[in-house]
A and B are shown apart, each in its own frame.
Chain A
Amino acid sequence: GQNIDQPTEMTATEGAIVQINCTYQTSGFNGLFWYQQHAGEAPTFLSYNVLDGLEEKGRFSSFLSRSKGYSYLLLKELQMKDSASYLCAVRDSNYQLIWGAGTKLIIKP
């Protein structure tokens, strides 16, 4: 079966750095996405990785290792508004997105 694993919940301090991990086992791989979802709102696109390596976009970076079935989202200089759930999704061989359950990130002052 297909599986996306992420930690259920993480806590970090304002101004710090946090890394959210995602491991996947899917039938095929055609890219990995990270989305942010604030409580009661829709998911919004953060990043896309299809090749190995690090993609940096402001305070957010995303890393992919296809051989290890592993990705992480790195958030720097955390702000209170970063409190949200972070969803990892992999596009499989059928070009469908398989979603993880999400990681709820709690930022403390």
Chain B
Amino acid sequence: IAGITQAPTSQILAAGRRMTLRCTQDMRHNAMYWYRQDLGLGLRLIHYSNTAGTTGKGEVPDGYSVSRANTDDFPLTLASAVPSQTSVYFCASSDTSGSSDTQYFGPGTRLTVL
């Protein structure tokens, strides 16, 4: 089934631990994105990648890193988790060659940092 998958679905993590959230898409979209969603706030862009091998910083990149080794995978790493990183994380992808460049979202990862 075409789409985006994320893992894990949810995670409870101790502060200071390292964590990688996984994201894989099979739509051959060139662009991928990581957002966080917090209650009362809009989705905020953490990092993005316009094509394999390139990445860029979004609105809230501090404390997060990404890599884009191939078209399909876009993992997000928290090097040393802090409680303020408790959030729901969504990965998205899009085909930027299209007229609308619509973003399609994965199911999300609910992360709690204690």
Q: A residues engaging B (CB < 8 A)?
A: 4, 31, 33, 41-45, 48, 50, 87, 89, 91, 95-102
A48 touches B100 (CB 8 A): yes
Interface assignment of B2: CB less than 8 Å from any CB of chain A = no
Instruction: Choose among B41, B45, B104 the residue that contacts A101 (Cβ–Cβ < 8 A).
Output: B41
Q: Which residues of B contact A97 (CB under 8 A)?
A: 43, 45, 103
Q: Which residues of B contact A (CB under 8 A)?
A: 40-45, 48, 58, 90, 96, 100-108
| Complex Cα gap A36–B85 (Å) | 24
A42–B107 CB distance below 8 A: yes
Q: Is the interface of B mostly helix, strand, loop or mixed?
A: loop
A28 smallest CB distance to B (angstroms): 14
Nearest CB in chain A: distance from B48 CB, A: 8
Closest to B31 in A: A95
CB–CB A91/B42 < 8 A: no
- Chain A residues contacting B43 (CB-CB under 8 Å) are 43, 87, 89, 97, 99
Of B40, B90, B96, which one neighbours A42 at CB under 8 angstroms?
B90
CA distance A42 to B48 in the complex (A): 18
Once bound together, how far apart are the Cα atoms of A87 and B43, in whole Å?
Answer: 9
CB distance from A84 to the nearest CB of B (A): 14
Task: In the A-B complex, list the 3 residue pairs whose CB atoms are closest, starting with the nearest.
Answer: A99-B42, A42-B105, A99-B43
How far is A91 from B101 in the complex, measured between Cα atoms in Å? 10
List 9 additional contacts besides A95-B101, A96-B45; criterion CB under 8 Å.
A41-B107, A42-B107, A42-B108, A45-B102, A48-B102, A96-B48, A97-B43, A100-B42, A101-B41
Q: CA of A88 to CA of B108 in the docked complex: distance in angstroms?
A: 19
Bound CA span A34–B77, Å: 29
Q: Separation in Å of the A46 CB from the closest CB of chain B?
A: 10
Minimum CB distance partner of A3 in chain B: B42
B3 CB to closest chain A CB (Å) equals 10
Contacts of B101 in A (CB 8 A): 31, 91, 95
Q: A45 to B104, alpha carbons, bound, how many Å?
A: 7
